[in-house]
């Protein structure tokens, strides 16, 4: 409760939750002694999708090779403390409260959004672990994101780029999104993940023409595929690697992992055995995460409960592709935010799942009401149900069945499910 009250107070430092500009961030960093110029070993992660997956994959591989990491990620699922990992450990709530109180004192009466304050807090605290690798995930776009404050980095991991957050752009197109995410990438090394289609990949390549970085593209400089014996074959200039199956679901995760492997081999010269161990050790919440214990698992009985925070068209493609490969019947529970492409997201599941239950995201003013969401889905030929709560929606399925209950549409929904469990 103390942390939540503090965050509510921090919101008063700027009238907008989001305001694309770097001026306030640099002002606060200057007051803090410019810590962005004092920490090193920066890894930048940018993209519409796959940022967290690439970040956690890279961290796991580097840890297996003996590196210590700091990791800044967003949003969180259950607590803001999840956003701050130092020396491979999540910060305690007490330490985060102390840190944010200190930052607020330095900020004084100046303006800053909560995200800008959180970013500066991470950078300042990272000074305590100067030898660590600093993995820093961008929030929105990159050009004016408060994580874009470093003069140099080791490399950038560029994730999947697709249509999202058009409301913040003048150029409301895929070209506009690509520009915002790639225009100000540092000159170092850029590793580009597999894209939704070849057209987007070409547009990214063109957008990076004037960037002096060495560029490595999935499918051109590194690749990954599944072999018949369910092992994974990875290839790049250093040769082939046969990898074990990771403990995370979805073919798209192999592409995310491969991007992190490419960087770890090229930049850090990570040993093959460390890569294999790192791949096996990847832990990822809210991304096709199966709930195997707890209150909700008891409710679903023989069914499998899986949650994924995917909320845009690109994510729906990946999730529906995974759902198609399952032997069990798949039923969706969906809760979404107001500012998403609802029809296009849900349409991806039309011929894949048996039913869809729509719910409100609990405790979130930005969520779309289930009735309004249903009205936006006219024309999608599937059986829709409305439910008043997460628990009610799960109870509507027979515990005797052996099917998949898949909850999607928002990381905020995933967070509420994990809290409830």
What DSSP line would sit under 389-415, residue for residue? SHHHHHHTS-TT---EEEEES-HHHHH
The answer to whether 278 and 60 have CB atoms below 8 angstroms apart is yes
Domains annotated on the chain, with CATH: 2-281 (3.40.1190.10), 289-420 (3.90.190.20)
Query: Tens of pLDDT along 244-291?
Result: 999 999 999 999 999 999 999 999 999 999 999 999 999 999 999 999
Render 27-49 in DSSP notation, one character per residue: HHHHHTT-GGGT---EEEEE-SB
The answer to whether 115 and 148 have CB atoms below 8 angstroms apart is no
Nearest-Å Rg of the Cα atoms of the chain is 21
The answer to whether 52 and 257 have CB atoms below 8 angstroms apart is no
Q: What pLDDT score was predicted for residue 21?
A: 84
With a CB cutoff of 8 Å and minimum separation 6, the contacts of 314 are: 48, 49, 160, 162, 163, 164, 196
Q: What pLDDT score was predicted for residue 227?
A: 80
Q: What pLDDT score was predicted for residue 167?
A: 64
**More confident position, 15 or 95:** 95
Q: Where are the beta strands (DSSP E) in 153-277?
A: 155-158, 189-192, 214-217, 222-226, 232-236, 239-243
The residue-averaged pLDDT of 98-124 equals 96
User: Average pLDDT of the chain?
Assistant: 94
Which helix (H) or strand (E) element contains residue 174? Answer: helix 174-182
The answer to whether 114 and 7 have CB atoms below 8 angstroms apart is yes
The residue-averaged pLDDT of 7-11 equals 93
305 — phi, psi (to 5°)? -105, 120
Residue 195 DSSP one-character state = P
Query: Tens of pLDDT along 25-67?
Result: 999 999 999 999 999 999 999 999 999 999 999 999 999 999 9
The residue-averaged pLDDT of 181-191 equals 95
CA 262 to each of CA 69, 166, 236, 278: distance values in angstroms, whole numbers, following the listed order: 18, 31, 7, 13
CB atoms within 10 A of CB 322: 20
Q: Which of 303, 326, 318 is CA-nearest to residue 401?
A: 303
User: Does the reported pTM lie above 0.85?
Assistant: yes
Query: Tens of pLDDT along 62-83?
Result: 999 999 999 999 999 999 999 9
3-state secondary structure of 14: coil
CA 327 to each of CA 295, 323, 324, 382: distance values in angstroms, whole numbers, following the listed order: 25, 9, 8, 20
Percent residues over pLDDT 90 in the chain: 88
Distance CA 126, CA 35 (A): 8
The residue-averaged pLDDT of 366-374 equals 96
CA 350 to each of CA 203, 319, 374: distance values in angstroms, whole numbers, following the listed order: 30, 12, 14
The residue-averaged pLDDT of 135-161 equals 94
Examine the pLDDT at 166 and tell me if it is beyond 60: no
């Amino acid at each position: 409760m103390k942390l939540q009250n503090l965050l509510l107070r921090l919101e008063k430092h700027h009238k907008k939750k989001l305001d694309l500009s770097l001026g306030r961030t640099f002002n606060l960093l200057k007051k803090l002694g410019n810590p962005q110029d004092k920490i090193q070993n920066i890894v930048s992660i940018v993209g519409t999708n796959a940022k967290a997956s690439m970040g956690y994959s890279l961290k796991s591989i580097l840890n297996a090779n003996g590196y210590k990491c700091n990791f800044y990620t967003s949003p969180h699922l259950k607590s803001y403390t999840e956003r701050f990992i130092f020396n491979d450990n999540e910060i305690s709530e007490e330490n985060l409260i102390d840190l944010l109180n200190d930052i607020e004192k330095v900020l004084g009466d100046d303006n800053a959004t909560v995200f800008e304050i959180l970013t500066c807090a991470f950078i300042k605290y990272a000074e305590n672990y100067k030898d660590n690798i600093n993995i820093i995930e961008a929030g929105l776009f990159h050009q004016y994101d408060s994580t874009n404050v470093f003069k140099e980095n080791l490399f950038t991991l560029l994730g999947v780029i697709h249509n999202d957050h058009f409301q913040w752009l003048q150029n409301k197109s895929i070209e506009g999104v690509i520009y915002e995410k790639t225009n100000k990438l540092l000159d170092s090394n850029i590793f580009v993940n597999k894209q939704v289609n070849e057209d987007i990949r070409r547009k990214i390549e063109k957008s990076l023409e004037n960037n002096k970085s060495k560029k490595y593209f999935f499918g051109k400089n590194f690749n990954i595929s599944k072999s018949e014996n369910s092992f994974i074959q990875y290839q790049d200039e250093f040769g082939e690697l046969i990898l074990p199956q990771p403990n995370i679901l979805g073919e798209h995760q192999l592409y995310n992992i491969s991007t992190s492997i490419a960087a770890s081999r090229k930049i850090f010269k990570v040993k093959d055995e460390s890569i294999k161990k790192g791949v096996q050790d990847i832990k990822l919440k809210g991304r096709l995460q199966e709930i195997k214990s707890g209150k909700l698992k008891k409710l679903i009985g023989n069914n499998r409960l899986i949650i994924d925070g995917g909320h845009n068209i690109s994510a729906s493609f990946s999730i529906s592709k995974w759902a198609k490969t399952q032997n069990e019947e798949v039923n969706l529970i969906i809760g979404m935010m107001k500012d998403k492409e609802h029809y296009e997201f849900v349409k991806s599941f039309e011929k894949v799942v048996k039913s869809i239950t729509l719910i409100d995201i609990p405790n979130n003013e930005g969520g779309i009401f289930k009735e309004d969401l249903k009205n936006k889905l006219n024309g999608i030929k599937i059986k829709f149900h409305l439910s008043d709560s997460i628990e009610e929606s799960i109870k509507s399925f027979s515990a005797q069945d052996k099917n998949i209950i898949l909850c999607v549409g928002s990381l905020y929904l995933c967070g509420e499910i994990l809290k409830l469990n």
